């Protein structure tokens, strides 16, 4: 059995790494998937290619509240193992797709599998760690987002160049099955469970009435809309905008390298910053009420970190899409992603701190449901359509505008700390 706190966090972080590798594999090989059937692709338009991300998120966000509500009543590790197994098998199945409809079904099933894991893993980490180290622990866990995303771009680009785009999905799906089995051996920390007769809708109604949770979620929606569309279309934009300067493989690889370096730095800094500002706040303990003034002040401090990151990122993202060369583009994106990933640990910490302890799994599920329904569920498809009807640089300007909106939504309001 796995009882050690560090070992559990390491296992869950490894699963999160695979999670994000899988998500960005599609973006890494997107141009090849869009090639005509005679050239080995599926002949997809930009709008259809954007819908591949939407399909994944349909399965993801529709089932996350179900997993969250179920986990608030009992064991989480079995649900995690089940979800990881489902997504791993569906990822391999994606590589066998021979039509747009097959690809869509496979990506929906991948989303269902990932919903269980992404909803439940942060709640286990939250239960395992004391208040003064939660920021660092969550930063380690969420470090898998930029690193996993980057590896998806790099691995996808390299495997596609060597063996074709289908092989990328075969490689990405296999390791998850082993880690799914390992997750069954986790010894879960004790926690307060919600009564089984509670209904999903009741939990969601309770969460919607909490101002700080609501503000964090709204800002997260705008953030996720922009980031999801950028992650899906970034490599293709580079390859087409700077054709002759970089190849498809280089576009995916360099985009991944920029993401991993900037994302890792910013995620760690965000977690450390979050811990530092919390130490300057009134003392919080495990017994502090979630709706106390002390806790609200701490949450507002975390919201400020998120907002500052977006204030930094928005103009730099806009500059990237008008950069005169691929290398200037990568420079601007590196600086922008320092701001983008700064919020990773703080915003998820808010999602856990701003709600009653017995509803934390439901809170993570509700947050995931909202950020995808109002965020990246539709944004890759919309941006694909905009790229079909507008000049690409103009279409991509929707992203910095949306980042700016997230800064406004996240900026803390003093009255909500009273």
Examine the pLDDT at 347 and tell me if it is beyond 70: yes
CATH class of 5-187+199-417: mainly alpha
Examine the pLDDT at 4 and tell me if it is beyond 90: no
CB 303 within 8 A of CB 411: yes
- Over residues 208-225, mean pLDDT: 88
Q: Domain map of the chain by residue range? A: 5-187+199-417
| pLDDT for 149 | 83
More confident residue, 348 or 94: 94
Mean pLDDT, the chain, rounded, equals: 84
| pLDDT for 69 | 65
Contacts (Cβ under 8 Å, ≥6 apart) of 192: 357, 358
Residue among 110, 113, 89, 127 nearest 8 (CA): 127
**For 26-72, what is each residue's pLDDT tens digit?**
888 988 999 898 888 899 988 899 898 888 888 877 777 677 666 66
C-alpha torsion sign, points 390, 391, 392, 397: negative
| pLDDT for 291 | 66
More confident residue, 115 or 190: 115
| pLDDT for 356 | 77
Contacts (Cβ under 8 Å, ≥6 apart) of 283: 294
pLDDT confidence band for 334 (50 / 70 / 90) = very high
| pLDDT for 221 | 94
| Lowest mean per-residue pLDDT among 198-202, 290-294, 392-396 | 198-202
Query: For tokens 């909202």, what's the residue?
Result: 370
Q: Tokens for 281?
A: 């706040």
Q: In Å, how far from its chain's centre is CA 126?
A: 18
- Over residues 333-346, mean pLDDT: 92
Examine the pLDDT at 274 and tell me if it is beyond 80: yes
| pLDDT for 53 | 85
More confident residue, 207 or 277: 277
- Over residues 173-182, mean pLDDT: 84
pLDDT confidence band for 330 (50 / 70 / 90) = very high
Task: Provide the residue count of the chain.
Answer: 418
pLDDT confidence band for 104 (50 / 70 / 90) = very high
Examine the pLDDT at 286 and tell me if it is beyond 60: no
Examine the pLDDT at 124 and tell me if it is beyond 60: yes
Examine the pLDDT at 73 and tell me if it is beyond 80: no
CA distance 324 to 231: 21
Residue among 302, 323, 352 nearest 141 (CA): 352
More confident residue, 161 or 70: 161
Examine the pLDDT at 401 and tell me if it is beyond 90: yes
Reported in sequence order, the residue ranges of 289-369 that DSSP labels E, i.e. its strands, are none
Examine the pLDDT at 304 and tell me if it is beyond 90: yes
| pLDDT for 418 | 59
Which of the residue ranges 108-117, 145-154, 220-229 has the most confident prediction, judged by mean pLDDT?
220-229
Q: Please report, rounded to a whole number, the percentage of residues in the chain having pLDDT higher than 90.
A: 28
**For 85-102, what is each residue's pLDDT tens digit?**
888 899 999 999 999 999
- Over residues 151-178, mean pLDDT: 88
| pLDDT for 42 | 92
| pLDDT for 20 | 84
Examine the pLDDT at 362 and tell me if it is beyond 80: no
| pLDDT for 305 | 93
């Amino acid at each position: 059995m796995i009882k050690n706190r560090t070992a559990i966090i390491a296992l869950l972080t490894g699963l999160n790494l695979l999670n994000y590798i899988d998500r960005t594999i599609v973006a890494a090989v997107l141009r090849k998937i869009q090639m005509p059937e005679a050239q080995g692709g599926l002949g997809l338009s930009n709008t259809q290619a954007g819908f591949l991300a939407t399909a994944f998120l349909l399965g993801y966000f529709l089932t996350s509240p179900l997993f969250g509500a179920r986990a608030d009543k009992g064991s989480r590790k079995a649900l995690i193992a089940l979800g990881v197994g489902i997504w791993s098998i569906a990822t391999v199945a994606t590589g066998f797709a021979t039509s747009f409809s097959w690809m869509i079904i496979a990506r929906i099933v991948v989303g269902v599998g990932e919903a269980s894991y992404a909803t439940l893993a942060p709640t286990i980490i939250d239960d395992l760690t004391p208040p003064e180290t939660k920021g660092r622990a969550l930063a380690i866990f969420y470090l898998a987002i930029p690193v996993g995303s980057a590896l998806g771009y790099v691995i996808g680009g390299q495997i596609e160049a060597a063996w074709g785009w289908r092989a990328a999905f075969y490689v990405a799906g296999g390791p998850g099955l082993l880690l799914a089995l390992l997750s069954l051996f986790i010894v879960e920390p004790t926690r307060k469970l919600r009564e089984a007769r509670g209904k999903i809708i009741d939990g969601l109604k309770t969460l919607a009435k909490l101002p700080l949770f609501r503000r964090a979620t709204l800002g997260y929606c705008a953030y996720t809309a922009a980031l999801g569309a950028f992650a899906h279309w970034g490599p293709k934009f580079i390859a087409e905008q700077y054709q002759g300067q970089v190849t498809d493989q280089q576009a995916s690889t360099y985009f991944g390298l920029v993401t991993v370096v900037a994302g890792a730095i910013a995620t760690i800094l965000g977690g450390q910053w979050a811990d530092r500002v919390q130490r300057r706040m009134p003392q919080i303990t495990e017994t502090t009420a979630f709706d106390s003034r002390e806790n609200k002040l701490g949450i507002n401090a975390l919201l400020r970190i998120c907002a500052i990151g977006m204030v930094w990122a928005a103009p730099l993202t806009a500059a990237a899409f008008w950069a005169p060369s691929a290398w200037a583009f990568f420079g601007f994106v590196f600086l922008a992603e320092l701001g983008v990933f700064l919020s990773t640990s703080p915003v998820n910490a808010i999602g856990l701190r701003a709600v009653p302890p017995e509803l934390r799994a439901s809170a993570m599920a509700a947050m995931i449901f909202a950020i995808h329904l109002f965020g990246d569920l539709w944004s890759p498809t919309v941006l694909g359509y905009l790229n079909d009807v507008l000049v690409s640089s103009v279409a991509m300007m929707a992203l910095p505008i949306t980042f700016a909106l997230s800064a406004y939504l996240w900026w803390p309001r003093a009255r909500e700390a009273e």
